[in-house]
Amino acid sequence: MKRHDLTDAEWLLLEPLLPSQTVHGARWSDHRTVMNGIFHRTRTATPWRDLPPCYGRWKTVYNRHRRWSLDGTWERILDGLRAGCNEVEGEDWTVSADSTVVRAHQHAAGARHAPGRRPAFKGACKDHEVTSAGREALGRSRGGLSTKIHLVADRRCRPISRILTPGQHADCPKFIPLLKSIRIPRRGPGRPRNRPARAMADKAYSSRANRRYLRKRNIKAVIPMKKDQAANRTRLGSKGGRPPVFDREAYKERNTVERCVNKLRQHRAVATRYDKRQRIYQGTIDVASIRIWLRDPVT
């Protein structure tokens, strides 16, 4: 077994969540061999063409990763691994939000600019289509091309949801879409849970809109105020209203999302973006997230 291959215990958790063999067409290559090749590439950032021969044809491994990135298979696998992860904390389910900027390699540039281009197979997601604003989640700044990963993690430093934007985009406007993307399936019947009891973030996410959204959904906000916001409130006196409640003890656990970011960045294909397409890079992040959940499964 290679260094980054699946262990027997991890394979027992992952195998039931993988798609079954299709009825029509040629028989797929062994799932475990191909998955080991994908995990090897995600961890080492090896170019697809340079994958070790023990994983089979590199084109087979790449096509499997591309197909499952576009049709949402990686996301469905993550849903299966995350099912019921909130039940341990019960009504006190807490999440933390933060972002990290990832440098994009020059190989990540140069994607075709034709909008509306779709893959040749059915069932692909529409999110991969190119948009004029922030094409392929690549931004150009003084440091070069970059992508920003907006992330939500739980108390055990496991990724819950993610959104990609160009690197120069701000954190605050993406806080509400990030929370809306939370979806934790239940182990039994019932709708997925998408409303934590407490949401923690640093002062970059402090805004009236974000606090109003959390208050409307009965989510306790653990977000410190910016100095200028506190000064403006003091200057207005009684018209400024009461300052928001801030739980300093609970805020000490906000570093869980930063530790989750560190776990993701241990995968070199996540720490530096090599994928041209946004959906393919999202799939790479999901593969790294799957490995994190396999090593710390729901009990």
> What confidence tens digit (pLDDT) does each residue in 224-247 have?
998 887 787 777 777 777 778 889
Q: Give the lowest-confidence range in 46-50, 68-72, 138-142, 273-277.
A: 138-142
Cβ count near 216 (within 10 Å): 8
Q: Please tell me the distance from the alpha carbon of residue 256 to that of residue 266, in angstroms, as a whole number.
A: 16
Report DSSP state, residue 50: G
Distances (CA, A) of 48 to 34, 64, 111, 269: 12, 12, 17, 11
Report DSSP state, residue 137: G
Query: Is residue 263 pLDDT above 80, yes or no?
Result: yes
Q: Is 147 helix (H, G, I), strand (E, B) or coil?
A: strand
% of the chain beyond a pLDDT of 90: 71
Query: Is residue 125 pLDDT above 80, yes or no?
Result: no
Query: Is residue 254 pLDDT above 50, yes or no?
Result: yes
pLDDT tens-place string over residues 21-65: 665 566 778 899 999 999 999 999 999 999 999 999 999 999 999
Query: Is residue 90 pLDDT above 90, yes or no?
Result: no
pLDDT for position 88: 85
Phi, psi of 260 (to 5 degrees): -65, -40
Average pLDDT, the chain: 88
pLDDT tier at 20, thresholds 50, 70, 90: confident
pLDDT tens-place string over residues 151-192: 999 999 999 999 999 999 999 999 999 999 999 999 888 899
pLDDT for position 129: 40
Q: Are strands 94-104 and 272-273 parallel, antiparallel or unpaired?
A: parallel
* Helix residue ranges, H only, 48-196: 58-70, 73-82, 175-180
pLDDT tier at 17, thresholds 50, 70, 90: very high
pLDDT tier at 131, thresholds 50, 70, 90: very low
Query: Is residue 118 pLDDT above 60, yes or no?
Result: no
Q: What angle do CA 91, 93, 98 make, to 5 degrees?
A: 155
Task: Give the mean pLDDT of 249-255.
Answer: 92
